[in-house]
Chain A
Amino acid sequence: MTLNALWVVVEPANGSLTTTSLELLSHARTLASSVAAVTWGTGDHAAQAGEYGATTLYSVGDLAGALPGAPVAAAIAALAASESPDAVLVPTSYDGRDIAARLSARLDRPVLTNVTGLVDEGGLVTEHPIFGGTQIARARFTGAGPGIVLVRAKSFAAEPSGGAPASVVTAPAGELGAEGAARITATHVEERQGPKLEEAPVVVSGGRGLGESSRYALVEEAARLLNGAAGASRAIVDAGWVPYSHQVGQTGKTVKPTVYIACGISGATQHMVGMKGSKNIVAINKDPDAPIFQIADLGIVGDVNTVLPSLIEALKSRAS
């Protein structure tokens, strides 16, 4: 091991650390002799952080409604002035990206983003899928100071090490100016039926080939009948048919279900990088030359607005 210390930003959610946080901790301990975690909020995550490999847990504490980006980055920057981690690993998430970007500007150090692999080759080397995941660009940091890495979900397995609870060290953000002035005044949880998109064993996704927004209901119904989740291509999210939270791809979520059913999705590179890790891929598309067929285990060349309703009928008759 040539790496001495890695820090991992671990995000609290619903009383636990997020799965991506645990994936990063698990991988960090294979790369560095010392792994510390950084978190915030009022929850106690020492046992879980320790179980996945952190020996120290820096806690920024209660953020009093502030968005995490500015205060958490300020706290890490203050710690990094006296300690010197080789790199700070951050989950690619709404708040993770804010933290990494703020930290980058504070430390005047670069961020490497969309990372799906991290290896030690006499220093940290990051792996980035490019051009729809057909190629991997490998990069490293140069110059003095810690590197900052934004890692995509599901890049590594989350495996407990059986470590003792991490020792908790308070890491205050200190006084922030206008940078830290964004405040959460209310939180809305949208009712969701069925499994989460990132965790569902079956994902049925819709794209432009559906023709119009009302037909996305077919995708949702097929997903429901298969006990799966409904996803979407960027094209129909941009068109306003479905919320961003359904988006699968480079700019959206990474999914690796048992089976991914792409309905009317041509397979833009930006979409493929988010789903090509699926165990099985089924594609329905009118265009026989659509790129999605190059990675599909089963391809149906046909109109999604014919095939999908028949599939729904078939699934319904099996259920009854």
Chain B
Amino acid sequence: MNVVVCVKQIPDPAAPQSLDASYNLNRSGKLILDEADTYGVEMALQLVDKAGGGEVTVVSMGSADDLAGLRNALAMGAAKAVIVSDDSLRGTDALGTAKVLAAAIRKVNPDLVLAATESSDGYTGTTPVQLAELLGMPSITFAKSVTVNGDTLAVERQTEAGYDEVTAPLPAVVTVTAGVVEPRYASFKGIMAAKSKPVEILSVADLGLADQVGPAGARQAIVDVVTAEARQAGEKYVDDGDGATKIVAFLESIKVL
């Protein structure tokens, strides 16, 4: 079974974020593999292992100047990486991203496409399902567990009340929630092997999507960015064994107790 995992190299979420003059997220610093994507990579590796054959391909869009994030996925065990990288992609929205990923994924022709429920920088959370629609595939979002039986998928999908058991024929797109599997650490051997694994870099022209990406393809514009009303910090105490008493007194003052 061949599995594609959509991954994203993002600025470190712990570092301060800023916007550039075109209101795009500043991505000039070091990029890392979105931690949310490591669960999909791990799940893909486990599914291919259980199927007894096939390989995992990671597919991405973004700058190819720094490929450390993709190498990380390769070091975990993915066989190859495909990244669509092009200056004209700057300012591409979620739907444009889905078009780019769909075109790249068609070339791989996988049995299953996995993605995180959303990226940790943009948080739109729509790209995987837009991708499924463009690929003409069923999609199951918010998977807690994924099992493949022949050409059918069985997924436990998170709901407000608990979870649903959902089935779909392959090929399909599934988004996985974080924490459902324990992503493996890359071994030294894996890190060394990743250096010689293939990374294919595609341009927008290679995919024939020239007029559908970038700010023009996004068909949305930022009007402005304003400062939100700030919340004021209140009182702060160092706990001298009276922390709990202070909390109880506070809860009494707001009539919660």
Q: Which residues of A contact B13 (CB under 8 A)?
A: 268, 270
Q: How far is the CB of B235 from chain A (nearest CB, A)?
A: 6
Q: Decide yes or no whether A64 CB sits under 8 A from chain B.
A: no
Are A202 and B256 CB-contacts (below 8 A) given A136-B225, A270-B120, A282-B250?
yes
A51 to B130, CA, bound (A): 33
Contact B219 A296 (CB under 8 A): no
Scan residues 211-230 of chain B and give those whose CB is less than 8 A from a CB of chain A: 218-228, 230
Q: Please report whether the interface of chain B is mostly helix, strand, loop or mixed according to DSSP.
A: mixed
Contact A112 B239 (CB under 8 A): no
Taking a contact as CB atoms closer than 8 A, the residue among A259, A269, A314 that contacts B244 in the complex is A314
Are A113 and B124 CB-contacts (below 8 A) given A234-B178, A251-B118?
yes
Size of the B side of the interface (Cβ < 8 Å), in residues, is 84
Contact B256 A201 (CB under 8 A): yes
Interface size grouping (class) on chain A: 35 or more
Q: How far is the CB of A66 from chain B (nearest CB, A)?
A: 9
A140 to B226, CA, bound (A): 15
Contact B168 A181 (CB under 8 A): yes
A5 to B142, CA, bound (A): 32
Contact A97 B126 (CB under 8 A): yes
B interface footprint on A291-320 (CB within 8 Å = 1, 0 otherwise): 001111111111100111011011100100
Q: Decide yes or no whether B184 CB sits under 8 A from chain A.
A: no
Scan residues 158-172 of chain B and give those whose CB is less than 8 A from a CB of chain A: 158-169, 172
In the complex, the chain B residue whose C-beta lies closest to that of A278 is: B231
Which A residues have a C-beta under 8 Å from some C-beta of B? 13, 67, 69-70, 73, 93-94, 97-98, 100-102, 104-106, 108-114, 121, 125, 129-131, 133-143, 147, 150, 177-190, 201-202, 226, 234, 237-241, 243-245, 250-251, 258-259, 261, 268-270, 276, 279-282, 284, 288, 293-303, 306-308, 310-311, 313-315, 318
Which B residues have a C-beta under 8 Å from some C-beta of A? 13-14, 17, 19, 23, 35-36, 93-95, 98, 117-118, 120, 123-130, 132-134, 136-142, 144, 157-169, 172, 177-180, 182, 218-228, 230-231, 233-239, 241, 243-248, 250-251, 254, 256-257
8 closest A-B pairs (Cβ-Cβ)? A302-B239, A101-B129, A105-B133, A310-B244, A299-B236, A297-B234, A190-B162, A101-B126
